[in-house]
Chains A and B, each alone.
Chain A
Amino acid sequence: MATDPFPIMNSTSNRLLKNLHRVMSAWGSVVVQGISTLGDISLFAFQMFAWMFRARPKRETLMPNFYAVGVLSLPVVALTGTFIGMVLAIQSYHQFKNIGLETRLGAVINMSLVRELGPVLAATMLAGRVGSAMAAVLGTMRVTEQIDALVSMGANPIHYLVVPRFLACVLLIPALTVMADFMGIVGGYFYSVIILGIDHAQYLRNSRDFVGGFDLFTGVFKSIFFGATIAIVSCYRGFHCQPGAEGVGRAATAAFVQSFVMILALDIVLNIFLDAVYFAIWPTGAKLF
């Protein structure tokens, strides 16, 4: 029988405190669970890095993953990139026109795309398309004992399954980010110049003057971390999948949700870091207007 934590209180305050106790303990267990999962994921990532340097992955495991992550993700990343570029043009045009700065639209669209939307969009598409598929495949392999079969035949599942997926995500997400950036720029240009009739030369000049190499670097640099997060979180979720179809479904969902949350959290940290680096190199900074 559970002991009463607050035996001397009167009934109303006792009830209130009991409820508070219940809420606090529920939140406490969520926090403990979260920290424990983070610790588990860190250990999993450590094992993965150890295996990455210990033995070279085989070509037969690398190529299918490179194909799935790079080639098959390209169309959807390009398409969404184009739409985002066009949407940015639609959303910004009227505000900028009101203050007579519609020719600067190119700078705003391209800067937003290259620094922020391109990498985050590519990472989101990768987490949705590839991350949840990774979790589902590895989860199914866990449930159907294929991972045990790998171990029983002398293969290390982290080396055989996780390292190639990690390398595919980390090495190919920069290319996908550049593709999202490029198609977004094309989409923004198309809508601004062809549909809205902004002057072609001014649009391009503004784009060129305000968007620099460091901006492109910022996006690509961040995307590497996003790719690593997607691969580690998704593979971890697959490896720790609960039995049954529901378990696999939950692993796939958790892989996407947790990857996405971690991508956004990382985005803040990396932006603060990259801003510090930028202002350390160029103390006066760049001015848009």
Chain B
Amino acid sequence: MDESILNQLASDSPPATRPILETRGMSLQFGRQVVLKDISVKISKGETVAIIGESGCGKTMFLKALVGLLNPTAGSVIFDGQDIQQLNDRDMTNLRKRFGFVFQNAALFDSMTISQNIAFPLRQHGVPKGKQAQNLISDRLSEVGLPSNVLSKRPSQLSGGMRKRVGLARALILEPDLLLYDEPTTGLDPIMSDVINELMMRTRKRYPVTSIFVTHDMHSARKVADRVIMLYPYSRLENGESQILFDGPPEQLDNTRDKRVKQFVNGEAGERLMEMLASRSKRHPDTLNLVDPNHNDGTDEE
């Protein structure tokens, strides 16, 4: 085919969607302890991604490294075409306007009222001020379903669920492009967990936001996410394996062949219980069982 025709075709075709966020061979290590090794992920604009995995696998570290709260020891994080590690302080501060982070326990400032907490990003970036800022704060508060009388209260006067919703309102105040949630439903009752799930879904509908949330809650992951990524602790991997055991839509979680993913999704201890018994018997050779030796639960025959 003629080269000019090829060029013509290339210019007419829609541009390939560039990921808004990408990690390239990202590793994170504390001293000798490897937490994340060679993680490469691409996240498209508007996606809602759940990061699942057992405690200690590095989910929260991964989330914090995405927005520069932790510096990867190797590899890079690219946000909207910019390598965030290469940015100077001023550019990074400007870029942070485009991030919203909902922390596990909300991380509201104890010394401030709820109103001051929600307004903090506005004050920090100097936009907007006065009446306009007040309206914005009230709007965000009503979006997360909280009455305006909480504005004058301190974080210690609110329940865990309310604090998380204030954390969400604070993260949303600058209408970020990327919203990160660290275990948004952990420690909440089932009803409040579902309220948070619904709020996350409503936020996605209302704003063109890309969301990444770390969770242990499979109900939340299945309900809210378009895509699920499962991380596995690096120390438990066999040689050459990727730390990402699963990357796909939540519907495929049930069809996966990986035993470790199945165990996590179904909440089964599996061989972990045997490992615990083995490590205990290694430390205390005289006691072989976790259970009462006089108690026969029928497992001896198996």
Contacts and interface: CB of A to CB of B under 8 A. Distances in A.
Interface of A: 64, 140-141, 144-146, 148-149, 151-156
Contacts of B105: 144-145
Interface stretch (B41-49, B117-125, B208-216): B117-125
Given A149-B101, A153-B96, A154-B124, 5 more contacts: A145-B104, A146-B109, A152-B67, A153-B124, A155-B120
A149 B124 contact: no
A124 B124 CA distance: 35
B125 A152 contact: no
Given A146-B107, A148-B69, A154 B101 contact: no
A154 B123 CA distance: 10
Contact of A155 (B64, B99, B124, B170): B124
B97 A154 contact: yes
Contacts, number: 46
A155 B105 CA distance: 19
B69 A144 contact: no
B109 A152 contact: no
Contact of B111 (A64, A145, A149): A64
Contacts of A141: 109-110
Interface residues on B, range: 20 to 34
A154 B125 contact: yes
Given A146-B109, A146-B110, A148-B64, A153 B104 contact: no
23 contacts: A64-B111, A141-B110, A144-B105, A144-B107, A145-B103, A146-B107, A146-B108, A146-B109, A148-B69, A148-B101, A149-B101, A149-B109, A151-B68, A151-B69, A152-B67, A152-B99, A152-B101, A153-B121, A153-B124, A154-B93, A154-B94, A154-B125, A155-B120
Contacts of B94: 154
A145 B124 CA distance: 18
Contacts of A152: 67, 69, 96, 99, 101
B183 to A, nearest CB: 11
Contacts of A140: 110
A146 B120 CA distance: 12
A63 to B, nearest CB: 12
Contacts of B125: 154
Contacts of A156: 89
Contacts of B99: 152
Contacts of B97: 154
A155 B108 CA distance: 14
Nearest to A153: B121
B105 to A, nearest CB: 6
B131 to A, nearest CB: 19
Contacts of A149: 101, 103, 107-109
Contacts of A146: 107-110
A148 B103 contact: yes
Interface in B142-175: 170
B121 A154 contact: yes
Contacts of B101: 148-149, 152
A194 to B, nearest CB: 45
A64 B103 CA distance: 26
Most B C-beta atoms less than 10 A away, residue of A140, A151, A152, A156: A152
Nearest to A151: B69
Contacts of B108: 146, 149
A108 B188 CA distance: 66
Q: Which of B104, B107, B110, B120 has the most chain A CB atoms inside 10 A of its CB?
A: B107
Given A152-B67, A154-B121, A145 B107 contact: yes
Given A146-B110, A149-B109, A154 B96 contact: yes
Contact of B120 (A64, A148, A151, A153): A153
